[in-house]
Structures are given as structure tokens and as C-alpha cells.
């Protein structure tokens, strides 16, 4: 029984843009949504790193170009970016706790990637949320490259996960399919023993593409 939907694709193809558009459509249909997405930080056209942004607009540092790790702390580096683990966990982890204790039905995780996976607490929280009966996940995962990421491979192999491969060729036409899949996943979850059907208008929303 499918519950969760994940998007994958090469960097910059538009996964985050699609996640935002799907969330907008679902919120308009009355679905309660929580979670976070990852956003590039640029200055004069140069990418300096990444921030984590919650769906309510709170922002925290995920990584910075050539940044120094905290004194005495373990350096978590992906390429030329140093991950600010404390900043990431302080913003992301409470969202998981609030999700389990509250009434939100859809949880957004953008993304489950190398930077985020330095956090063991994040890994545990993702697994708990995947196994929860009361919510669905709309998330993003990277395409396989180099050494496999254990949690990403777990997501790929789960029977309750549907994965969409996003490309420049299909990103303009796949929106409705993703919304329908998320709707199906929500129907297969239970909140206080109940499930509900969702109706979203047939008008197509065409995303304005940017790199993710």
C-alpha cells in the first residue's frame, strides 16, 4: 500500500520547485502540511552554500563554502561545503517531533542527501516518520552516484514508496501525476482511525523553473 512519494533527479532539474508547487496545490485543497526544503544561497551569481527553509518560512544554515566547523567539533564536509550540523538539527528535528504529536498529514523532506545524512538524529527521525501510520511523506532523494547512501537505498526499496524520476523533458507534464500519487498516499494513512479523500481542481499549474 503506497503512502509516500519521493522525487529524484539530477541537481538543478527542478525537484524543489515541483515540491513547492505540489504543496501549494494540496494546501489549497485543505491538506495540513509541514516540513522543510533546501535552498541555494547565492551572492553575485556564486553559490555560497545551502539553507534549510521550513514551510512556515523559518530559515537556518545547512552548509557554507569553505566554512570552518565549530572548535573541537567533527567536520562534516561534502565537497567544498562544510555542513553546519547544529544549525540543521536545531531547525529540522523539531519539525519531526511536531509532526508526530500534531495534526499535520503530509510531511515534506527536501532532501535526504549527503549533507543531511551526517545527522544520526535525522536518520532516526526519517525512519520513524516513514513507519508512522498517520502521515505521508513528500520528499526528494538524489540519483545514485558513487557510494550508496544507506537511508536513500532503504527509501528506494520500500513497498510503500512511489518514486518519480524528474527530467527536463517531463517536469512540465508530471505535476498532475505527482499530486495524484500524494492524494493516494494520504488516503492510505490514518489520523485517529480515519482517512479522507481529497479533491484538487483539474486546472494545470505550470511551475516556474529554477535550479534546486
Q: Which pLDDT band, with edges at 50, 70 and 90, does 203 fall under?
A: very low
pLDDT band at 102 (very low <50, low <70, confident <90, very high): confident
User: Is residue 9 over pLDDT 80?
Assistant: yes
Tell me what the mean pLDDT of segment 21-34 comes to. Answer: 95
Summary mean pLDDT of the chain: 88
Give CA separation, 112 vs 138, 149, 199, in Å: 11, 9, 29
Residues 37 and 109: their CA atoms lie apart, in Å, by 6
pLDDT at position 134 is: 87
Within 10 angstroms of residue 3's Cβ, the number of other Cβ atoms is 23
What's residue 75's pLDDT? 79
CATH number for region 4-37+92-187? 3.40.50.300
The reported pLDDT for the residue numbered 192 is: 42
CA angle in degrees (0–180, nearest 5) for 8-13-17: 85
Least confident of 6-20, 115-129, 184-198: 184-198
pLDDT at 197 over 50: no
Q: Calculate what percentage of the chain has a pLDDT beyond 90.
A: 76
pLDDT at 195: 40
DSSP 59: E
Closest CA to 184 of 172, 174, 176: 176
Amino acid at each position: 500500500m503506497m503512502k509516500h512519494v519521493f522525487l529524484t533527479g539530477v541537481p538543478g532539474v527542478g525537484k524543489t520547485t515541483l515540491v513547492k508547487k505540489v504543496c501549494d496545490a494540496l494546501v489549497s485543497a485543505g491538506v495540513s502540511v509541514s516540513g522543510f526544503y533546501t535552498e541555494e544561497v547565492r551572492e553575485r551569481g556564486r553559490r555560497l552554500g545551502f539553507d534549510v527553509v521550513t514551510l512556515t518560512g523559518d530559515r537556518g544554515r545547512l552548509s557554507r563554502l569553505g566554512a570552518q566547523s565549530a572548535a573541537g567539533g567533527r567536520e562534516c564536509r561534502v565537497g567544498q561545503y562544510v555542513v553546519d550540523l547544529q544549525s540543521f538539527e536545531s531547525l529540522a528535528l523539531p519539525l519531526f517531533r511536531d509532526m508526530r504529536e500534531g495534526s499535520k498529514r503530509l510531511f515534506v523532506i527536501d532532501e535526504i542527501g549527503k549533507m543531511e545524512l551526517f545527522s544520526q538524529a535525522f536518520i532516526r527521525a526519517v525512519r520513524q516518520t516513514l513507519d508512522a501510520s498517520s502521515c505521508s511523506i513528500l520528499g526528494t532523494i538524489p540519483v545514485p552516484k558513487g557510494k550508496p547512501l544507506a537511508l536513500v537505498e532503504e527509501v528506494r526499496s520500500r513497498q510503500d514508496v512511489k518514486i518519480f524520476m524528474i527530467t527536463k523533458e517531463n517536469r512540465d507534464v508530471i505535476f498532475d501525476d505527482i499530486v495524484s500519487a500524494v492524494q493516494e498516499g494520504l488516503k492510505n494513512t490514518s489520523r485517529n482511525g480515519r482517512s479522507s479523500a481529497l479533491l484538487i481542481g483539474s486546472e494545470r499549474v505550470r511551475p516556474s523553473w529554477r535550479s534546486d
